[in-house]
């Protein structure tokens, strides 16, 4: 018996605190310390944490597994679907270091309720009755791992949880949930966009994407910049992008690494960032 099984309750609480700390760190570094967190007094509605940020309230059920573990399903309480934006976060941890990630997410876009659980498999009690029959638990549904979306980093998870426009989210999540054609953010070289919230607000007020499909939405422009940051291995900052010459230089650096149409999209996003830098005097 390992420490993880012998002290499972201790581990569960430890992982919860580590998870909360990582999200609070993201809020501190990138989102103006706006994240608020609470816990339910009574555990009968299928969630472990209540979080609010960016105008979104999340009721979150936490699940944990060791990387390399064999757990293939998770059980979810149907009451979670009654919440305004309930979701399940399945956290994988390194057995030796307790490092968090990757994460598996089951839920909808920020601000929307959990996808329907009606047609999901009904869970059964682990022990049978006097006749050996394991009765069904009508309030519990079984979700296979394939129902979850893999999210590599805590930064992408924060975005998934609280951003209604999903800036910088992973391609897998965006494709499955919203149909956005975006680039995957790798867990390696996970750079940031300086003044990201200000840039997103600038895009919205500039009318970007008002008459366009999702591929030209403000969320896509954020994603394009994330992809540029990954390709050049650098944060996107006003010092890096403040003129058309900067845009051309970066475009030259990444030429041949993506299709021409994709690079044109990247350049459009970079020009919007330059416009924001000039308009805000950054």
Per-residue confidence (pLDDT) for residue 209, from 0 to 100: 55
Are both 141 and 235 inside the same structural domain?
no
Per-residue confidence (pLDDT) for residue 189, from 0 to 100: 46
Of 151, 184, 204, the position where a domain reaches its end is 151
Are both 120 and 173 inside the same structural domain?
no
Q: Would residue 13 count as lying in a domain?
A: yes
Per-residue confidence (pLDDT) for residue 8, from 0 to 100: 77
Q: Would residue 157 count as lying in a domain?
A: no
Are both 274 and 202 inside the same structural domain?
yes
pTM for the predicted model, two decimal places: 0.59
Of 151, 180, 215, the position where a domain reaches its end is 151
Q: Would residue 159 count as lying in a domain?
A: no
Are both 184 and 268 inside the same structural domain?
yes
Which tokens belong to 121? Answer: 């498999």
Q: Would residue 185 count as lying in a domain?
A: yes
Q: Would residue 22 count as lying in a domain?
A: yes
Are both 79 and 202 inside the same structural domain?
no
Are both 77 and 205 inside the same structural domain?
no
The residue range of the domain holding 59 is 3-151
Q: Would residue 38 count as lying in a domain?
A: yes
Are both 185 and 141 inside the same structural domain?
no
Per-residue confidence (pLDDT) for residue 97, from 0 to 100: 93
Counting as low any pLDDT under 50, the low residues of the chain are 167-189, 211-216
Are both 194 and 138 inside the same structural domain?
no
Are both 21 and 136 inside the same structural domain?
yes
Are both 170 and 142 inside the same structural domain?
no
Per-residue confidence (pLDDT) for residue 5, from 0 to 100: 64
CATH assignment of the domain containing 118 = 3.40.1350
Are both 170 and 136 inside the same structural domain?
no
Of 126, 151, 176, the position where a domain reaches its end is 151
Q: Would residue 158 count as lying in a domain?
A: no
Per-residue confidence (pLDDT) for residue 53, from 0 to 100: 92
Per-residue confidence (pLDDT) for residue 185, from 0 to 100: 34
Per-residue confidence (pLDDT) for residue 135, from 0 to 100: 83
Q: Would residue 263 count as lying in a domain?
A: yes
Are both 134 and 264 inside the same structural domain?
no
> What are the pLDDT digits (tens) for 139-184?
899 999 988 999 999 999 999 999 875 543 333 444 444 333 333 3
The number of distinct structural domains making up the chain is 2
């Amino acid at each position: 018996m390992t420490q993880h099984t012998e002290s499972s309750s201790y581990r569960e609480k430890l992982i919860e605190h580590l998870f909360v700390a990582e999200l609070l760190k993201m809020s501190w570094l990138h989102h103006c310390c706006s994240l608020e967190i609470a816990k339910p007094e009574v555990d009968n509605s299928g969630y472990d944490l209540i979080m609010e940020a960016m105008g979104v309230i999340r009721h979150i059920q936490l699940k944990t597994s060791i990387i390399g573990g064999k757990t293939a399903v998770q059980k979810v309480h149907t009451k979670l679907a009654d919440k305004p934006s309930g979701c399940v976060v399945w956290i994988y941890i390194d057995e030796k270091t307790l490092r968090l990630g990757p994460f598996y997410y089951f839920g909808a876009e920020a601000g929307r309720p959990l996808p329907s659980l009606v047609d999901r498999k009904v869970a059964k009690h682990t022990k049978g009755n006097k006749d050996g029959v394991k009765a069904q638990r009508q309030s519990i549904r079984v979700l296979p791992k394939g129902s979850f979306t893999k999210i590599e980093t805590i930064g992408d998870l924060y975005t998934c949880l609280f951003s209604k426009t999903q800036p910088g989210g992973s391609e897998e999540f965006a494709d499955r949930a919203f149909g956005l054609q975006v680039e995957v953010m790798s867990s390696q070289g996970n750079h940031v966009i300086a003044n990201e919230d200000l840039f997103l607000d600038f895009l919205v007020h500039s009318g970007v994407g008002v008459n366009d499909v999702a591929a030209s939405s403000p969320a896509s422009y954020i994603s394009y910049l994330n992809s540029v940051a990954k390709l050049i291995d650098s944060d996107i900052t006003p010092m890096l992008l403040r003129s058309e010459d900067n845009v051309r230089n970066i475009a030259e650096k990444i030429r041949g690494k993506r299709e021409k149409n994709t690079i044109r999209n990247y350049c459009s996003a970079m020009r919007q960032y330059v416009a924001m830098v000039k308009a805000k005097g950054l």
